[in-house]
Homo-oligomer: A and B are copies of this chain.
């Protein structure tokens, strides 16, 4: 490449100062229209590339927002991320993505990187075991944080997530209304707020309809399709096998359905199955999956808005916002042959 083109290259070429060029390129009204156009034209002609490092060093604003979640490949996060991406794109922020895979060291190293780059903010779904100190450290160093999907008690940081307790309650009420009196619950861990709340929703709803859950109904752990598939073996080993399975997530449920089918058990017809999240695949799965729409895009949009508001100078209100979820009844629970409707069956 030729000699690097910078502000002074343009300034010299036009007999102007770098100050004027800088202002013109950022559309300052201080610069005369003719001057501005001449400058922009010259910048284009010379192939000028704005040096954000230099600008950011001077202004201490980088235009970078970090986003860190467990795993971007998980469609649950995917839908949140799309919403965040749209919002940040519109505000011309660069969005730096990272998976932490629930590894605290990886999350910490990402936060360090953001601090070093002078990032403007962080949208985080905290890794298991994240301490409140971690977040205060970031905040104290000028990196505002907004949480998504998982909240962190006592952190004083705003969080946006679905009302998991209420949502799982909807599922269990629905299964009970179909006549099920033994409802297993597969997946998730009590190390996350999501895991705790969904499990609490299951327990509480069972209590409401007068069912006492047996310990063996609870199969903890699975959080993806593959481990859902594997969990079927444990489910089939339960004495007096439950007639319904509520799953921690759609991914787990889809794995469970594969696993049941593999064992010759028809999900929907032989065992009712439900998921959680209403990912795109739920509606076309075989059978179509009863689940809970979790407001992922609302979570993403509102979290991005909240962070951008803080960047604009507003203080954090530190509230945990629970998005109200919605039950989607499909044939994996009702056993109806077709996708539509929810005709009860025993």
Size range of the chain A interface in the assembly? 35 or more
Please classify the interface of chain A as helix (H, G, I), strand (E, B), loop, or mixed, using the class held by over half of its residues.
Answer: helix
The residue from B62, B117, B142 contacting A1, defined by CB atoms under 8 A apart: B142
A37-78 residues with Cβ-Cβ distance < 8 A to B are 47, 49-54, 56-57, 62, 72-73, 75, 78
| CB <8 Å contact, B51 and A118 | yes
Given contacts A57-B57, A72-B72, A85-B99, contact A258 B284 (CB under 8 A): yes
The residues of B that contact A112 with a CB separation of less than 8 Å are: 49
A339:B262 contact, CB within 8 angstroms: yes
Shortest CB-to-CB span from A303 to chain B, Å, is 18
Instruction: Flag if A284 contacts B53 (CB, 8 Å).
Output: no
Judged by a CB distance under 8 angstroms, whether A192 is at the interface is: no
Once A53-B117, A78-B73, A99-B85 are accepted as A-B contacts, the answer to whether A280 and B226 lie under 8 Å apart by CB is: yes
Q: Which residue of B lies closest to A115 (CB)?
A: B49
**CA gap between A47 and B115 in the complex, in Å:** 12
**Known contacts A1-B140, A225-B284, A284-B229; A54 and B57 CB within 8 A of each other:** yes
A131 CB, min distance to chain B CBs, angstroms: 16
List the 4 closest A-B pairs by CB distance, nearest first. A73-B78, A97-B97, A52-B116, A261-B286
- Provide the bound-state CA to CA distance between A14 and B97, in Å: 38
